[in-house]
Amino acid sequence: MSSPFDVPALVGRTLDLARQRGFITSTRHETGRLLATLAAARSGTLAELGTGTGVGSAWLSSGAAEGTRIVSAELDPSLAEDVQKIFSDVANVDIVSGDWTTLEEYAPFSLIFVDVREVMAEIDHLAALLEPGGIAVLDDFTASAHWPPIVDGQVDTVREQWLTDERFVAVELLIDADASLVIATRR
Ligand SMILES: C[S@@+](CC[C@H](N)C(=O)[O-])C[C@H]1O[C@@H](n2cnc3c(N)ncnc32)[C@H](O)[C@@H]1O
């Protein structure tokens, strides 16, 4: 990368796939750079739940040290197959076709990137998959000026739980005027 505005070549390939498929829910660059930064501080195994076209995995891979493994699960088999082709020559990344729970066999994780809304509600399950000091990154919340956070007139109970659960030290970060993510470290 020559400047903070460029993206790594592998990320570019996953974004090309997103364009080809009309896939519009890929991780944005700001979140990707955060994932790469966190990955650089991790060892062991990192997991992504919900691969999409592989953007998050590519950012994690761009930051991770040699020897750090990345596993990512995608429920849509045809999408998983396309992404597997992109990562076929990336030794430390495995794209798994199947439900996120298929990644349990690779646990414990030093970082989990949770990018499926329904999975975020599985806080007990996710806490059990993280090693002590392990980090969960939960993407794509709607920014809210209220506490507890309110979206469409309803309390966002999932975000509220992640930010208050005693098993984690957590913070919400604005990544744009209208979007935020949560980073939660397992005590
Ligand atoms: C928001 S997109 C993921 C974007 C991706 N993480 C990125 O960095 O660009 C969510 C993806 O999760 C997949 N998905 C939905 N439910 C899932 C599940 N139970 N297990 C694994 N993947 C799932 C969807 O098919 C979709 O591709």
Most ligand 1 atoms within 8 A of CB, residue of 11, 51, 70 to mutate? 51
**How high is the pLDDT of residue 1?**
53
For residue range 120-164, list pLDDT tens digits in order: 999 999 999 999 999 999 999 999 989 999 999 999 999 999 999
Residue 120 covered by a domain: yes
Q: Calculate the CA 66 to chain-centre distance.
A: 19
> What's the gap in Å between 72 CA and the centre of ligand 1?
9
Q: How distant, in Å, are the alpha carbons of 31, 72, 135 from that of 129?
A: 22, 14, 11
For residue range 77-113, list pLDDT tens digits in order: 999 999 999 999 999 999 999 999 999 999 999 999 9
Task: Answer whether the bond into residue 148 is a cis peptide, omega within 30°.
Answer: yes
> What's the gap in Å between 52 CA and the centre of ligand 1?
5
Residue 153 covered by a domain: yes
Ligand 1 near 26 CB (within 6 A): yes
The yes-or-no verdict on residue 62 having pLDDT over 80 is: yes
**How high is the pLDDT of residue 5?**
81
Q: How many domains does the chain have?
A: 1
Element (H, E) at 83: helix 77-86
Q: What's the CATH number where 80 sits?
A: 3.40.50.150
Residue 2 covered by a domain: no
Q: Is 4 exposed, middle or buried (0-12, 13-18, 19+ CB in 10 A)?
A: exposed
CA 57 to CA 51: how far, in whole Å? 7
**How high is the pLDDT of residue 3?**
79
Ligand 1 near 181 CB (within 6 A): no
Residue 157 covered by a domain: yes
**Triad 82, 110, 129: Cα angle to 5°:** 85
Domain that holds residue 29: 9-186
* Cβ atoms of residues 64 and 92 within 8 Å: yes
Residue 92 covered by a domain: yes
How many of the other CB atoms lie within 10 Å of CB of 145? 6
> In the predicted model, what is the mean pLDDT of the chain?
96
Residue 3 covered by a domain: no
> What's the gap in Å between 25 CA and the centre of ligand 1?
9
**How high is the pLDDT of residue 2?**
65
Ligand 1 near 31 CB (within 6 A): no
Element (H, E) at 138: strand 130-142
At 70, is the pLDDT very low, low, confident or very high (cuts 50, 70, 90)? very high
Look at strands 154-155 and 93-97 and give their pairing.
Answer: unpaired
Average pLDDT over residues 171-177: 94
Residue 63 covered by a domain: yes
